[in-house]
Amino acid sequence: MTEIYFSKLLKNNTTSVDTKNFIYIKSKWDYQQAEISLQDSETGKCYRGLVSKETLNETANDLELPIQVYEAECRRLLTAQMPIAGYSYELDDENKQLKVKKDPLSYLYLDIALKEIKNHYEIFDDVIELIQQQQNYTTERADKTKDNDTLKVEMQDDFRRLIDEKNRLEKSLLKKAALLLNSKKQKITELEQRLKQYEKQAEETIADITHIEESEEDVPGTSNNVQTTKRQARIIESDASSEEEGNENVRKNNSSDDDAFMADTEPIIFPV
């Protein structure tokens, strides 16, 4: 994947005039090489250069530096947005070279061969394209943000509706539960009252029976009168039975007398 960077580097002043000049660099990086396009703000000239991975490896070996460390540092030097302390940039127009020197000994750290180009606007083509891409990206982000905001508002409304519905259902369920509990409590109260009433009636009945029995035991002569009455009834029954037996005997005697009388009064028949 190609990566594009735009940097503004401070050019080392080689003249006695106290001015600041800059080098505008566009660099395209991939896995094998880096393509450099730059413009000198002092002269207005534009250059192009190419840095291969093999060249960086050779320079790292010459400087006795680890290859990965050296490659990462060179990339940082060519893509930095702010001046990097301890380094200086020189643009050799005569030899067509971009030199990066490292302090304090100011030894050559990076050297890139350049070729002058006539198209002064080529360096800015990618900048314009990148700006357009960034603008399109910003517009898309704004649209997505707007859509997300709209979706967020809709989700918030839906969430509020769900919360309201949840609260309504909870209140309804609590109300029904309260009504059910009150109904159960009322039913239990009624049953308790009826049970107490039955217990009271049973206690009153038992008390009445006990009172009657105690009253009968406490009244004098009651049991003797009852026994006397019973004895009189038995005597009357005995007398009645004796009288009936006497009458029966009389009837039997009368019947015997009649039979005897009939026997005595039968006619005597004499033979002729």
100-102-103 Cα angle (round to 5): 140
The answer on pLDDT for 4 being more than 90 is no
Cis check for the bond before 104: say yes or no (omega within 30 of 0).
Answer: yes
Examine residue 30 and state whether it is found in any structural domain, yes or no: yes
Cα–Cα distance between 214 and 162 in angstroms, integer?
Answer: 77
Which pLDDT does position 103 carry in this prediction? 87
Q: Looking at residue 109, which CATH number applies to its domain?
A: 2.170.210.10
Examine residue 102 and state whether it is found in any structural domain, yes or no: yes
pLDDT tens, position by position, 224-250: 554 545 455 554 555 555 556 655 655
The total of structural domains in the chain comes to 1
The answer on pLDDT for 251 being more than 90 is no
Examine residue 58 and state whether it is found in any structural domain, yes or no: yes
SS3 106: coil
Token code pair at residue 212: 């009657």
Examine residue 135 and state whether it is found in any structural domain, yes or no: no
* Confidence (pTM): 0.50
Residue 130, classified by CB atoms within 10 Å of its CB into exposed (0-12), middle (13-18) or buried (19+), is middle
Range of the domain at 59: 3-120
Banded model confidence at residue 59, pLDDT cuts 50, 70, 90: very high
Token code pair at residue 52: 């291969």
Stretch 185-209: mean pLDDT, rounded? 89
